[in-house]
Amino acid sequence: MSDNITNILVVGVGGQGVMTATEILAEAAIALGHDVKKTEVAGMAQRGGVVSSHLRFGPKVLSPQIAPGSADILLAFEAAEGMRWRHMMRPDALALINTGNLAPPVVELGLFEYPADPVGEMRKSGARVFAFDASAIANGLGDIRLGNTVMLGAIADHLPFSAEALERCVLQRFARKGEKVIEMNRQAFAAGRAAAAEAQRTQDVREAVSA
Amino acid sequence: MAAVMPAPAQSRLLMSGNEAVARAVWESGVKVAAAYPGTPATEMLEVISTYPDLYSEWSVNEKTSLEVAFGAAMAGSRAFCAMKHVGLNVASDALMTLTLTGVAGGLVIAVADDVGLSSSQNEQDSRFWGRFAHVPVLEPADSQEAYEYTKLAYALSERFQTVVILRMTTRICHVKALVTVGERVAHVGAGFQKDPARWVMVPGAAQKRIPLMFQREAELRAEAEVSALNFVEAGSDRRVGFVTSGPAYMHVKEAFPEAPVLKLGLSYPAPFEKIRAFAATVDNCVVVEEVEPLLETELKAQGIRLAGKDLLPRSGELSPPVLKPAVGRLLGEAVAEPEQKPARAVAPLPVFPRPPTMCVACPHLGVYYTLSQLRNITISGDIGCYTLGFGHPWNALDACISMGASMGMALGLDKGRGESDKDKKIVAVIGDSTFLHMGMQGLLDIVYNKGNVTVLLLDNRAVGMTGGQDNPGNGRDIHGEEAPRVDFAKLVKALGVKDERVHVVNPYELPTLFKTLRDETKIPEPSVIITNQPCVLIQDYHKLKPFTVIDDKCTGCGNCLDTGCPAIHVTKRDSVVKPSGKTVDLAFVRIESSVCTGCGLCVQPCAPDAIVHADKVIQIKALQRH
């Protein structure tokens, strides 16, 4: 984390809950006494377009935008979107990636190709990547909309504050929605955390072998 | 919608600039607030509408919103209106006269410039309007300042009896930062005081107001020289000093923490003497402003030696990585590209584009699908979700410039036909809210001047693109409460379209839509086809049973993909050689049933009847198992 500022870039496709997830991360940072700025390009975002949400926190935050090459963590809700924003990361920064693919109509129409191996491309560029299918985990728990809680669980052990602090903020969001919804989110958070840990273990083995 | 209790004073809240302005408007005792939705300004009125104790409305356009706010300010109440940059062009007709009358109660216009073009048809610098209208411009740099400056704007507005422009940009409107809020202060309006010499701007009266306007401007310039909003932050590295305003200030502070900075909060009229004195204390003075070299030009005309857009980009957002190398070059430093901090930069990886799309089951899909099937047609478009019809797979939009312009352009395309397009059918496409905003006049012009234009009025009962806000077309007001609903068929008939040339069509019924459109474009007189199904993102929309594809039946014709529905995905591609020797590409599909709402559009062009309701398939499979 540079200059005592933590830069987290959350990316995905309009409708995936990218902005909500970033807002929860921001709430957690505020609860721990940080100054926070959060921004995104919204506008047409909900129409299936590219969404990127910038979160910066630390003792005092000035510019709201993360400069290219200075994101500490990239949280990508969609694999190709992870690739799209790779240049925003510090060269060796951590990327947490949902491998669940969402192809846009221009790909379905055959005008462009979806990359064959987005995660592999990112690793080739030097990024440390923990990848797993968060969409499948969310579907398995009964609701695709749990995907952003799964992703928040995944990032939980890589923040300059405790996973429990983030989990509290996640569950706070659903406080009024009843015990069942809270419990589903608790499970989604835990599943995301476990998936990231497993992805890290696999990656560590991979790195050890290649070293 | 029930008003929420606002957070208590001294709360520290994570607020966007828009939310911060809304809070300050409420705290300032504003009585009337009006706007037409437009990104990045929309949330100001959305949030204001949730506060108790003030009147708020969605107006039909920005000019109207300013007129409503002005009326309240004339009556001595505090008033507010918000708009995006292009909205001020619409409202400018009213603005250019209120600059003469001035106001009684405080009147603030928050203008949100879309610096970097996140969702607009142009990038323009609204600070020009301050110069043009001779009214003060305040430029906050973040949410806390947006909140504070709004309150200061009311004090300034009442002290100088002038409208004040609060100039916002995307990176204030849509940046969330911590704001410490205060308490609401009641403001009691004096009521309207008759004074025709002031409020009735006929030439004789207006002429007398012009000297007063210039006197006010001079007083405001003197105020800018002493205002605490324009302050110097001393720095230890005096090689370069910066004159800056708005979010550019934050980028300067981050990029050059040791440099002296003169920050302008009240940026128009500019405090020339303060800036001249500041420039004398540094080796080089650089003006950092988004986006035009406005201040720079004024300061150079004052004989102040400085740099600006000769170093910095003329459009788009500024940021530390943009500023650092530019200033480095000024100082003759070896500039590492891009900036020094990352040990090595990573080049962007190539990825397909992901342009915004229309939603699953959007009622506009059927319209653009149908338009894409017609030949020999020119389509004049407008501002809204349906502008996306220019993209794949429809490619069915030939022009689009500004709100409500589709019909005027269509009439021009008709009257200005050349030999090559003498037989072209001219269609204008416009949405319900856009039609009410500025479209009615265009249709009237077509009727009055006997244009040969077919108008498609896409009534989806919402301001769709900005998030589905209410308007007179859906019978709900800003609070979601019942309101009179305009009858578009009657309205267009009242504008002179013949009864038999007005059709109301369900856009999901493709054969009817196609036939109506084909027939009406053949008839050489104005016709209006109104589509009548709601936006899928609003409460009026009701989902139906989802569809699925029977794999064995799908022949890969790909007709369903031509509707552009994002719920349809290709599972396999192939190509076959026909007996004629022609190669045909095949695309076998599936429907994402979890997001399909059962609109039935894709069923209609499906040649082999391979698309059926999902639950039927489950039943069939269940039967086969037993």
- Nearby residues of B379 by Cβ (< 8 Å), 6 or more positions away: B371, B389, B396, B397, B398, B399, B427, B428, B429
Query: Given this model, what pLDDT does residue A204 score?
Result: 86
pLDDT at A3: 63
Asked if the Cβ–Cβ distance from A63 to B319 is below 8 Å, we say yes
The answer to whether the Cβ–Cβ distance between B320 and A63 falls below 8 Å is: yes
Q: Where on the phi/psi map is residue A9: left (φ > 0), alpha (ψ -120 to 50), or beta?
A: beta
Across the interface, whether the CB atoms of A37 and B317 are under 8 A apart is answered no
Chain B nearest-CA distance from A143, in A, is 10
Same domain, B93 and B35: yes
Residues B490 and B387 in one domain: yes
By CB atoms closer than 10 A (0-12, 13-18, 19+), residue B58 is buried
Among B287, B303, B330, give the residue marking a domain's end: B330
Q: B346 vs A87: CB contact, 8 Å cut-off?
A: yes
Find the helix or strand (DSSP H, E) in which A92 lies.
strand A89-98
Chain pair A-B, CB pairs under 8 angstroms: 178
Instruction: Name the closest residue on chain A to residue B322, using Cα atoms.
Output: A67
Per residue, the 3-state secondary structure of B337-359, as one string, reads CCCCCCCCCCCCCCCCCCCCCCC
| Assigned CATH class of A6-210 | alpha beta
B519 occurs within a structural domain:
yes
DSSP state of B367: H
Q: Nearest CA to CA, how far is B342 from chain A (Å)?
A: 6
Within 8 A of A63 by CB-CB distance, chain B residues are: 247, 250-251, 253-255, 319-320
Nearest CA in chain B to A120: B349
Q: Are residues B433 and B500 in the same domain?
A: yes
B385 is in an annotated binding site: no
Q: What is the pLDDT of residue A14?
A: 87
Q: Which residues from B are below 8 Å from A111, CB to CB?
A: 392
Residue B350 token pair: 């190539």
Q: How far is B612 from chain A (nearest CA, A)?
A: 21
Give chain B positions within 8 Å (CB) of A115. Answer: 351-352
Least Cα separation, residue B11 to chain A (angstroms): 13
d(CA A174, CA A183): 10
Please report the pLDDT score of residue A111 as a whole number: 92
Contact B176 A39 (CB under 8 A): yes
Helix spans in B134-281 (H):
143-160, 170-173, 196-199, 203-226, 248-255, 272-279
The pLDDT tens digits for A125-149 are 999 999 999 999 999 999 999 999 9
3-state secondary structure B566-625: CCEEEEEEEEEECCCCCEEEEEEEEECCCCCCCCCCCCCCCCCCCEEEHHHHHHHHHHHH
Provide, as residue numbers in chain A, all residues whose Cβ is less than 8 Å from the Cβ of B342. Answer: 69-70, 90-91
Domain containing residue B252: CATH number? 3.40.50.920
Residues B578, B580, B585: CA angle, nearest 5 degrees: 35
**Chain B residues close to A145, C-beta within 8 Å:** none
Q: Which residues of B touch A112 (CB under 8 A)?
A: 352-353
Q: Is B583 exposed, middle or buried (0-12, 13-18, 19+ CB in 10 A)?
A: exposed
User: Coil, strand or helix: which one is B426?
Assistant: strand
Q: What beta strand segments (E) does B289-344 contain? A: none
What count of other Cβ atoms lies within 10 Å of the Cβ of residue B586? 15
Rounded to the nearest integer, the mean pLDDT of chain A is 92
Tokens of A58: 């630390």
List of chain B residues whose C-beta atoms are within 8 Å of the C-beta of residue A84: 348-349, 351, 354
Beta carbons of B393 and A105 less than 8 Å apart? yes
Query: Does residue B589 sit in the same domain as residue B493?
Result: no
Given a cut of 70, the residues of chain B with pLDDT beneath it are: 1-4, 335-344, 618-626
- pLDDT at position A42, please? 57
B131 shares a domain with B155 = yes
Interface with chain A: mutation pick from B4, B349, B358, B602, highest number of A CBs within 10 Å: B349
- Give me the pLDDT at residue B239, please: 97
Q: Which residues of B touch A121 (CB under 8 A)?
A: 349
Rounded Cα distance between A63 and B169, Å, is 14
Give the pLDDT of residue B337. 57
Structure confidence at residue B340 (pLDDT):
47
- CA dihedral (B126, B129, B130, B132) positive or negative: positive
Do B342 and A90 make contact, defined as CB atoms within 8 angstroms? yes
Split at pLDDT 50, 70, 90, the class of A92 is: confident
Interchain pair B349, A125: CB under 8 A: yes
Q: What is the residue range of B553's domain?
A: 547-625
Contact state of B118 with A43 under an 8 Å Cβ cutoff = yes
Residue B537 lies in a domain: no
Angle at A146 between CA B567 and CA A35, to 5 degrees: 115
B240 shares a domain with B146: no
Query: B132 and B35, same structural domain?
Result: yes
* A65–B319 C-beta distance less than 8 A: yes
Nearest to B354 among A13, A89, A125 (CB): A13
User: Is residue B344 domain-resident?
Assistant: no
- Contact between B321 and A2 using a beta-carbon 8 Å cutoff: no
Q: Tell me the shortest Cα–Cα distance from A6 to chain B, in angstroms.
A: 14
Residue of A nearest to B359 (CA): A47
Q: Which position has the token pair 């903020």? A: A169
Rounded to a whole number of angstroms, the distance from the CA of A194 to the nearest CA of chain B is 26
B362 marked among binding-site residues:
no
Tell me, yes or no, whether B218 and B235 share the same domain: no
Asked whether residue B599 is marked as a ligand-binding residue, the answer is yes
- Residue B596 labelled as part of a binding site: yes
Using CB atoms, which residue from A37, A69, A106 is nearest to B355?
Answer: A106
The answer to whether residue B348 is domain-embedded is no
For residue A1, is pLDDT > 50?
A: no
The answer to whether A97 and A119 are in contact (CB under 8 A) is yes
Instruction: Say whether both B431 and B518 belong to one domain.
Output: yes
Q: Domain check: are B147 and B254 in the same one?
A: no
**Count of H-run helices and E-run strands, chain B:** 20, 22
pLDDT at A53 over 60: yes
Inside any domain, residue B494: yes
Are B437 and B578 found together in one domain? no
In a mutagenesis test of the A interface, which of B176, B368, B390 is the best target, namely the one with the most A β-carbons within 10 Å?
B176
Report chain B residues whose CB lies below 8 A from the CB of A30: 12, 14, 178
Angle at B590 between CA B587 and CA B594, to 5 degrees: 155
Contact A110 B345 (CB under 8 A): no
Q: CB under 8 Å to B440, separation ≥6 — which residues? A: B491, B495
- In this complex, the residue of B14, B349, B568 whose CB is nearest that of residue A86 is B349
- Contact list, B174 vs chain A (CB under 8 Å): 39-42
User: Was B557 annotated as part of a binding site?
Assistant: yes
| In a shared domain, residues B372 and B486 | yes
- Total domains in chain B come to 4
Domain assignment of residue B217, yes or no: yes
With a threshold of 0.90, tell me whether the complex ipTM lies above it.
yes
Domain CATH for B134: 3.40.50.970
> CA A143 to CA B563: how far, in whole Å?
28
- Last residue of some domain: B330, B345, B376? B330
Flag if B354 and A104 touch (Cβ within 8 Å): yes
